[in-house]
Structure 1
Amino acid sequence: MLRLIRLARAEGDAVHEALERICQLQPEYSAANTPAMQERGRLVRSDLRAEVEKLGPRLAAALGAFGDDLLVDASDGIGRKTELPWVRFCSRSMSPNPTEGFYCVTHFSTDGSAVHVTVGCGSSRFHKGSSVPLPDHELDAQTAWARQVVVEEFGTLVPFDDPADFGARRPLPISFQRATAISHRVAYSDIRTTDFGRLFEKAAQRLRPIYAAQATGRNLTDADQRELEIEAALNPLNRPSRRQGYGLSAPARRAVEKRAMDVASQFLRDNGYAVRDTSATSPFDIEATLKGTQIKVEVKGTTSDRADGILMTANEVALHRSEKGNTALIIVSSIRLSEQNGAYSCSGGNVEWLLGWDIDEWFHEATAFRVTRPAMTKNHAAS
């Protein structure tokens, strides 16, 4: 037992020594490969990375179902050295590279004053079948969404509620700061007394519900979710990865749509409207009547927490364009879907009511085309 305690202490000391020395080297930062930067690179890419890898079983357990493909990697810059070297760990399938998905990442203040254990995200997202760079407002939305998920699970951000301020001055390191969702700052003077193994575990525990929410598409718009469903139908052998979220099955989709209709109908009744379900016979879902005035209402339901993108049919688009002022849109987002023994049930749902909706104020993008073979002429048939 005494030998095991000494061994654990020795491993902890190795982590502390690597973290302290990297902090000491941070004020000597240079983009060139100076002797100080060579030492920092070795510590980041070799020593510290190896110590984090030793914690693999604990970190994998903390990630739950997402820990079976644990990835640990590190960088101090490709070519020119970076202000903010890092070591990260994650699920390989959820974050195959640092530009995609969410991961736990350790950063260092540029002045060497602190170590920051964080959960952050890459700077791209799935859209229209591929990954695209995130503009600042999208990156802010992603990190805010991740914080929301953590608070839902733990009731608080503590102990990962410190500002993500690492002292970065250059564009790429500044983007690392912006991509940080939650952060715990360890001052240089506290490195030796901090149990980093336990701190990394806590970070992984916060990453797990973020992954679970991603796997059900909560961070994607309704339009992105439905694009995945179309992609799965058109290319059944090329399934989307877990980090993109899964398109819903037909029974799950029906359950979500029924929940959306129930929530929307109740919302309209609560606001004085008489409601008639027209979803089976018309290119709109509800005919809502108030004081003799009829409104044609489109209802969109989604498990997504984002209500800024929906998918519509050509008939739906035509209706909202031809009858502007007489139509409305209700988006029911954040519907929670559960499954038991093959049966789906739904709860929750946030209502957004857009009365007098002008569809042309929204951006339109073609996501799929119907491609039909032309009628064959006699000459074509003969050849």
Structure 2
Amino acid sequence: MEITLGQICSLQPKYTSSNTPDMQERGHLIRSVLAGELRSRLPSLRKAFDSVFDDLAVEGSDGIGRKTEAPWVRIFSKAMSPTPREGFYLVIHFAADGSAVFITVGCGSTIWRGGDLRPVSDDELKTRTSWARLIVQQKWKSLIPFDDKIFLGAKAQLPRTFEKATGFAKRIAASELNTTDLDLLLFRAAERLNEIYLAQIEQRDLSPGDQSADEISIIAKPLRNRAGKQGRGLTAKERQVIERHAMTLAIKHLSINGYESQDTSATKSFDILAKRAGEELLVEVKGTTSDFCDSVLMTKNEVNLHRAHKGSTGLIIVSKIRLSRDNGEPTATGGEIEALLGWDIDEWTSDPIAFQVSRKSNGSIARNQTRTPR
């Protein structure tokens, strides 16, 4: 593989957007030779992944139509990253001047938000790559050996987007390819990608509101192509465990702050009635595995309640709850509390993500209605 990488590096300074003989050779090396060498390594790389990710694949690109300054080859789970624009993946990049190869883990430029796949801004890319680094640092306490800055040195916009979408990278000088253990670096990168995938399965990269919107969109559009979401999400039982854990922590937090709490989650449009020295608060509790908490899902009744009793309601978000599944039974631990007591819901934005569309009650079926015979 080091020979192939070296050959690609030697062709990089000869870049042109036209399909010259040099670019034809580079395309063959990227899409066929290097991709094939990585496919031959998939059996050993699978040992770095949880068994749920049994759909690993390889693809490479040197441009669609016109050639690109920054060719790449990636290793990915088909379910977690069905296209290069979605999800995270292990990807090999090349410096434009051929001076170096980068073994990286990066992400696509779109994300599931509000139940749909949407492009992300540079700020959102920064948030996503920072989150990926956090996941790795929590596990390995360091980014080493993937603590190098990626700089491709290309003039076009797309390679600069690749740089922004890189979570972490290892730079290997072209002159050091023959003395570097490339297989070990690939395996270490695969281990880190696996950790990111596991965090995504628990939806730690989605805000609570986006988690809920995703579930609603599945109900509303069951036939929509959602290959990239296979295996992601929590079961009903796991969600119940998370909510119970969040309620316990919320009641404990309120008690520490002098409130007596009554659990009303089964009978009211709020979860806790909290009382302290004649003060009453109607408190909504949201528990989540998410590491991001910039949105939550509320029903129409919950929104109306918070507006009608503004100043006398509260929102408690318990984020970063961790699930374990020992012996098949989910248990929840941890969690960070954000308590917004005396919350003003109108300081947040409220976006409708679904509607219940009902037939008008006019006492008759519309005359123009056409029924399709079965």
TM-score normalised by structure 2 residue count: 0.90
1:181 to 1:277, Cα distance in 2 relative to 1, 3 A: same
The reply to whether residue 303 of structure 1 matches residue 303 of structure 2 is no
The reply to whether residue 167 of structure 1 matches residue 148 of structure 2 is no
1:165 to 1:312, Cα distance in 2 relative to 1, 3 A: same
Is the Cα–Cα contact under 8 Å of residues 232 and 239 in structure 1 kept in the other structure?
A: no
Deviation, structure 1 residue 83: 1.8
Is the Cα–Cα contact under 8 Å of residues 220 and 245 in structure 1 kept in the other structure?
A: no
Q: 2:45 aligns with which of 49, 59, 78?
A: 59
1:364 to 1:72, Cα distance in 2 relative to 1, 3 A: same
Is the Cα–Cα contact under 8 Å of residues 241 and 332 in structure 2 kept in the other structure?
A: yes
Deviation, structure 1 residue 335: 1.0
Amino acid at match of 1:265: I
Amino acid at match of 2:249: V
TM-score normalised by structure 1 residue count: 0.88
Cα distance between partner residues in 1 of 2:19 and 2:223: 46
Q: Which residue of 2 aligns with 1:8?
A: none
Q: Which residue of 2 aligns with 1:254?
A: 240
Cα distance between partner residues in 2 of 1:201 and 1:353: 42
* Cα displacement string for residues 15-69 of structure 1 (whole angstroms, at most 9, x for unaligned residues): 1122112222222322233333222222212221121122121122222325422
Cα distance between partner residues in 2 of 1:191 and 1:301: 48
Deviation, structure 1 residue 378: 5.5
Deviation, structure 1 residue 269: 2.0
Cα distance between partner residues in 1 of 2:345 and 2:231: 27
Amino acid at match of 1:151: Q
The reply to whether residue 179 of structure 1 matches residue 165 of structure 2 is yes
Is the Cα–Cα contact under 8 Å of residues 82 and 227 in structure 2 kept in the other structure?
A: no
Q: Which has the higher helix share?
A: 1
Is the Cα–Cα contact under 8 Å of residues 154 and 160 in structure 2 kept in the other structure?
A: yes
- CA RMSD after TM alignment: 2.4
Query: Where does structure 1 lack aligned partners over 5 or more consecutive residues?
Result: 1-14
1:294 to 1:244, Cα distance in 2 relative to 1, 3 A: farther
Is the Cα–Cα contact under 8 Å of residues 81 and 228 in structure 2 kept in the other structure?
A: no
Q: 2:341 aligns with which of 344, 355, 375?
A: 355
1:59 to 1:67, Cα distance in 2 relative to 1, 3 A: farther
Amino acid at match of 2:146: F
Cα distance between partner residues in 2 of 1:217 and 1:163: 28
Deviation, structure 1 residue 157: 1.4
Cα distance between partner residues in 2 of 1:346 and 1:379: 51
Query: Where does structure 2 lack aligned partners over 5 or more consecutive residues?
Result: 370-374
1:311 to 1:132, Cα distance in 2 relative to 1, 3 A: same
The reply to whether residue 212 of structure 1 matches residue 198 of structure 2 is yes
The reply to whether residue 104 of structure 1 matches residue 90 of structure 2 is yes
Q: Which residue of 2 aligns with 1:325?
A: 311
Cα distance between partner residues in 1 of 2:311 and 2:348: 15
Match of 2:330, SS?
A: strand
Amino acid at match of 1:249: T
Cα distance between partner residues in 2 of 1:236 and 1:29: 45
Amino acid at match of 1:187: A
Match of 1:294, SS?
A: strand
* Cα displacement string for residues 95-117 of structure 1 (whole angstroms, at most 9, x for unaligned residues): 11110111100001122221100
Deviation, structure 1 residue 87: 0.7
1:379 to 1:195, Cα distance in 2 relative to 1, 3 A: closer
* Cα displacement string for residues 184-213 of structure 1 (whole angstroms, at most 9, x for unaligned residues): 111122111012122111111111111111
* Cα displacement string for residues 285-325 of structure 1 (whole angstroms, at most 9, x for unaligned residues): 22333443332221111111211121001111112222222
Is the Cα–Cα contact under 8 Å of residues 102 and 171 in structure 2 kept in the other structure?
A: yes
Deviation, structure 1 residue 214: 1.2
The reply to whether residue 372 of structure 1 matches residue 361 of structure 2 is no
Q: Which residue of 2 aligns with 1:74?
A: 60
The reply to whether residue 28 of structure 1 matches residue 6 of structure 2 is no
Q: Which residue of 1 aligns with 2:269?
A: 283
Deviation, structure 1 residue 240: 5.3
Amino acid at match of 1:75: S
Match of 1:105, SS?
A: strand
Q: Which residue of 2 aligns with 1:12?
A: none
Cα distance between partner residues in 1 of 2:17 and 2:52: 36
Amino acid at match of 1:323: H
The reply to whether residue 89 of structure 1 matches residue 75 of structure 2 is yes
Q: Which residue of 2 aligns with 1:43?
A: 29
Which shows bigger deviation, 288-297 or 103-112? 288-297
Report % sequence identity: 49
Counterparts of 1:123-162 in structure 2 under 5 Å?
A: 123-162=109-148
Deviation, structure 1 residue 244: 6.2
Amino acid at match of 1:89: I
Cα distance between partner residues in 1 of 2:232 and 2:82: 17
Which shows bigger deviation, 219-228 or 73-82? 219-228
Amino acid at match of 2:254: L
Which shows bigger deviation, 235-244 or 338-347? 235-244
Cα distance between partner residues in 1 of 2:364 and 2:148: 74
